[in-house]
Amino acid sequence: MKRFAVIGDPVEHSMSPAMHNAVFKKLKLDCSFGKVRVPKGKLDEKALEKLKEEYIGLSVTIPHKLAVVPLLDKLDRSAEMIGAVNCVDFKGGKAKGYNTDMAGAIEPLKAKLGKLKGKKILILGAGGAARAIAFGCALEGCEIAIWNRTESKAVELMEEIMKIPGAEGWDSDESATKPLDAIINATSVGMHPKTEAIPIHEDFLGPDITVMDIVYNPLETKLLRIARKHGCPTIDGLEMLVGQGAEALKIWLGVDAPRDVMRKAALKELKG
Ligand code: ATR
């Protein structure tokens, strides 16, 4: 049996085991997916070596997405660029790190917006999730703006993004003439228990703007509820979660995971 696990702290409420085990069952794969609590500061070379003996691959979550990077033998381009890893593959006796959050966010955006090149995207937030989304959008040739509560972090991230060949930011003149294509909430605003919070004023919303939220608890955030009222196409937080998991399964096992099965399993977990 091939064994996988998510490492992090806390991991009790991780939805990864449910999502992946549902795929293994559906595709009749002799695999299992568990969870291992690894406290902050406890992930070192020895710990990773032990995990390598037991597992084929790992999902990596808070607080290890950055800490795991220097422990790995190799980094995929996505992980190298973003500087964070959420997926480790132990194939061939080496530990290779990937960032599947990026593809996990970009796929649903493409599904709604079509080709992303030249699309104008406003990203709210400048933390880990915003980073993966911003790099992904820049690589697709989107025009990006980043707003964050702590402005200096948005400026820093934007400066990094602009180093990508072909990356485009907006200038203020253009933003007046060319309307936004998407707004992405990559902050935790609206997450349980503060579900009445919204990360942007609703005056910014309009029927031609796709609104994506990375928050999945609740699944319908106030932002998405109001966006739907304005006629905006919406992408909920489970899509990115399922997307990053499906991408990891492609890396580990080369399988094209049924996303509907993953989503259903995640929804069941959410409902408790
Ligand atoms: P993650 O890895 O999930 O992205 P993070 O790195 O802690 O988590 O980032 C959280 C993001 O949500 C940040 O952009 C944060 O803004 P700051 O950089 O100013 O901290 C944003 N955020 C969290 N709580 C917020 C709030 N109440 N209002 C506005 N932004 C908030």
Domain positions in the chain: 2-99+239-271, 102-235
Write phi, then psi, for 140 (nearest 5 degrees). -80, -5
Tens digits of per-residue pLDDT, 238-250?
A: 999 999 999 999 9
What is the full DSSP assignment across 38-76? Answer: --TT---HHHHHHHHHH-SEEEE-TT-TTTTGGG-SEE-
Separation CA 71–CA 133 (nearest Å)? 24
pLDDT at position 169: 79
In short, whether 194's Cβ falls inside 6 Å of ligand 1 is no
Task: Give the residue whose CA is nearest to atom 21 of ligand 1.
Answer: 187
The answer, yes or no, to whether residue 168 has pLDDT greater than 90, is no
Task: Band the pLDDT of 70: cuts 50, 70, 90.
Answer: very high
Task: Band the pLDDT of 167: cuts 50, 70, 90.
Answer: confident
Quote the Cα angle for 223-224-228, to 5°: 120
CATH code of the domain occupying 2-99+239-271: 3.40.50.10860
pLDDT at position 192: 93
pLDDT at position 174: 57
The domain 102-235 is classified under which CATH number: 3.40.50.720, 3.30.70.580, 3.50.50.60, 1.10.1740.10?
3.40.50.720
The answer, yes or no, to whether residue 234 has pLDDT greater than 70, is yes
Query: Per-residue pLDDT averaged across 255-264, rounded?
Result: 98
The structure's pTM equals 0.93
Tens digits of per-residue pLDDT, 73-107?
A: 999 999 999 999 999 999 999 999 999 999 999 99
Same fold, 2-99+239-271 and 102-235: yes
In short, whether 74's Cβ falls inside 6 Å of ligand 1 is no
pLDDT at position 170: 74
Catalytic status, residue 229: no
